[in-house]
Chain A
Amino acid sequence: MEIFTQSIAEAVRLVASFDRYVFQVMGLSLKVSGSAVLIGLVIGLPLGVWLGLSRFRGRAILVALVNTGLGLPPVVVGLFVMMMISRKGPLGFLSLLYTPPAMVIAQVILATPYITAITMSAVGSIPREVRLQALGLGASRIQALMVVVKEARLSIMTAVIAGFGAVISEVGAVMMVGGNISAGGENKTRVMTTAIVQEARMGNFETAMAFGLILLAMAFAAVFLMTRLQGGPRSGWVKS
């Protein structure tokens, strides 16, 4: 079992020595997944609020679609995005394949359902009276919505955390549309997960494990930060 102790030592060594390669790969992971979650939030928050509060024909189908999105296989999303932006695809003229923006696009598709689904259930669970009372006190429709969103903010932060967790840890989509490329010692599209696959393929199981540990530590740090933002004194999994 010395591989475990050795890979922990390797992980510590890589981080403590500020290994340029490792930090470039970590940086791109955070940049790509962070942007994807932010864009996912811009799409998923309004969509989730709308689905959570309104009642209309066909809502059940939309809700089911969003919930299905929670189980989207990253590799299928990667394949789909790849076909769209490949030189022979409909969006080929944009020359996006094997670039970080392509990776962001794929991860937005993966993160948005998480943010939408959780927002939806969060605002749906805020008592109707809250909105009615706000309206009764003279708030405009938009202001009343803001009151509901504010009430649900803790769960919405959880939505962001879930979306981030889903994309920082996926490999199928970023491998396909990113290509795990580095050039002349500069990282182009290599992220932590694809680097792990590569190291494992090369038989460098220790380095692969070390990268895995660094990825976990990185995700933990990011989530810890978000949880602090979310909770203040009553941090933790808060039910709104």
Chain B
Amino acid sequence: MSAWAKMVVEKVLGGPAGLPSRGARAALRIVAPAVLVAAFAVVAGCGDTSATEGSTITTAATVKKSDIVLASTTSTQDSGLFDVLLPAFEAAYPQYTVKVVAAGTGEALKLGENKDADVLLVHAPTSEKEFVENGFGTERFEVMYNDFVIVGPADDPAGIRGTTDAAQALKAISVAEVLFVSRGDDSGTHKKELSLWKASGVEPSGAWYESAGQGMGDVLAISSEKQAYTLSDRASYLNLLEGLDLEVLVEGDKALFNQYGVIPVTDATNAAGAADFAAWIISTEGQTVIGDYGVEKFGQPLFVPNAG
């Protein structure tokens, strides 16, 4: 609820009727000093971390942790990979805690440009290369790939099931004018979708082409609810499968390939952590964790490691 609305309420309740305002004021008297103390503690704490950042050599008893801010995409987050990848990394490097910011690729790259993130794990190779060329990232390493699939309702009103050419399938959807939900958020998945439309020679527009401007999980939920088609990465789809009324209709086209890259940000707040994370994720150990993820749950790996 907006603070503004709360203020209005307080103004009114603070009148003759005086409902909870006296209590609130008393609470404030107690809380305010506590907040101040906490703020000081945080400031002091920050000073602490930056001091120890340079020298991570510590005795085993007192391992000082520093944060690595990892900017990644909502589809990677929705895939569930981080739930196994990050604990494995933190076990190998106990001095770090990884904080994930899941955004669209556009925002993730912007976070890197502003140095609000230390390291990026995204999947838009062209934008990534530009990012490094412009000096925002130190280097880009290929990490893994997964693939995109076109999913849609089981009754498949546009008749695209089994098509091996993704662009042709999109064309058929546009001709049939069946609802298609686009990410519309400048994400890696959105960019992939636009490149497929371009290949199909169709300029998607009209009431059948909806744009949600949201993450992969949200767009899959919307598509399922509306029985519409959409483009999804396989990992997000498999991970959310249970709640969805959607089937994979088109897969296997080379154009549906989805390459992930890792980029440490230039002059990052935690540059050492960023470099360690990038080195670990392309190491044999990191690559094994990636290759194993999903085999147990879905009977197939969700990502294929291909670093080096």
A46 touches B (CB below 8 Å): no
How many contacting A-B pairs (Cβ < 8 A)? Answer: 129
Interface residues in A, total, Cβ within 8 A: 51
Are the C-beta atoms of A188 and B210 separated by less than 8 Å? yes
Is A211 part of the binding interface, using a Cβ–Cβ cutoff of 8 Å?
Answer: no
Q: Does A121 contact B (CB under 8 A)?
A: yes
Q: Is the CB of B12 within 8 A of A121?
A: yes
Q: Are A121 and B13 interface neighbours, CB within 8 A?
A: yes
Chain A 162-180 interface 0/1 with B at a Cβ cutoff of 8 Å (1 = within): 1101100110000100011
Shortest beta-carbon distance, A77 to chain B, in Å? 10
A217 at the interface (CB under 8 A from B): no
The CA-CA distance from A99 to B86 in the complex, in Å, is 38
User: Which residue of chain A has the shortest Cβ distance to B206 in the bound complex?
Assistant: A184
* Alpha-carbon separation in the docked complex, A118 to B214 (Å): 36
Q: How far is the CA of A183 from the CA of B11 in the complex (A)?
A: 42
Q: How many angstroms from the CA of A205 to the CA of B209 in the assembled complex?
A: 26
Interface string of A185-216 (1 = CB under 8 A from B): 11010100011001011111100000000000
Residue in B closest to A92 when the chains form the complex, CB atoms: B225
CA distance A185 to B210 in the complex (A): 9
Docked complex: B87-127 residues within 8 A CB-CB of A: 103-104, 106-111
**CB within 8 Å for A70 and B1 given contacts A98-B222, A202-B106:** yes
Tell me which residues across on chain A come within 8 A of B208, comparing CB atoms: 183-184
Among residues of B, the one whose C-beta sits closest to the C-beta of A117 is B9
Using known A-B contacts A87-B225, A121-B17, A200-B107, determine if residue A70 contacts B210 with beta carbons closer than 8 Å: no
Whether A182 pairs with B211 at a CB distance below 8 angstroms is yes
Chain B residues within CB distance 8 Å of chain A: 1-2, 4-6, 8-9, 11-13, 15-17, 19-20, 103-104, 106-111, 181, 184-187, 205-215, 218, 222, 225-226, 245
